[in-house]
Amino acid sequence: MDWIALIIALCAGISLSAACGFRIFLPLLALSVAVRFFGFGVNEHLTWVGGDTAFYTLLVATVVEVLAYYIPAVDNVLDAVVGPLSMVAGAVVTAGLLPEMPDALQWVIGIVVGSGAAGSVRAGTAALRGTSTVTTAGLGNPILSTLENILSAIGSVLAIVLPVLAILGVLVMVWVIWAIIRRLRRGSSTPAST
């Protein structure tokens, strides 16, 4: 087994999975573009992503998902609904990027690592959106949605082009999200002085 190829594939898979934690379809669309137009290599489990049907379906789904996050109240509902779906997307992406190895091992790694990356980011962004909804009456949510779209897009491109750099970005991003959440929660639980 080529360990360097495995490490690069894991970095790409984890990074794309983390991007799925922000938006499910945008990272899949980026992967579809990379496979379809640039010959990006995936294993046999994920070759479908480069096909016509997948490309156009992911394009429409990405536009709908991105726009839906700008609708008040819908953004919070989406956070609740898409959590499990982002974890499934993370598992599929990570398993599909791994080099040749037994199928069971690919899927175990995909489920544990890919789902974990997507779920961690999704949990952080859902908590951040909930805190934003409470502290800004939802007025800060469009800004948060824009930031999530940007991070998902940048993370997706980096995962494909520079996977090792992308994984470092994922670690920093997760740390920043959790630091912001802790700070906001501490600030909202401090009693006001009278």
What are the tens digits of pLDDT across the range 5-43?
A: 888 888 899 999 999 999 999 999 999 999 999 988 898
The encoded tokens of residue 157 equal 């491109």
Q: Let me know: does 43 contact 96? Beta carbons within 8 Å.
A: yes
Q: Give this prediction's pTM.
A: 0.84
Which among 116, 148, 166, 167 has a CA at the least distance from the CA of 22?
Answer: 148
Rounded CA-CA distance 66/84 in Å is 18
Q: So what's the pLDDT on residue 190?
A: 58
- Among candidates 63, 33, 2, which has minimal Cα distance to 159? 33
Residue 55 pLDDT grade (very low, low, confident, very high; cuts 50, 70, 90): very high
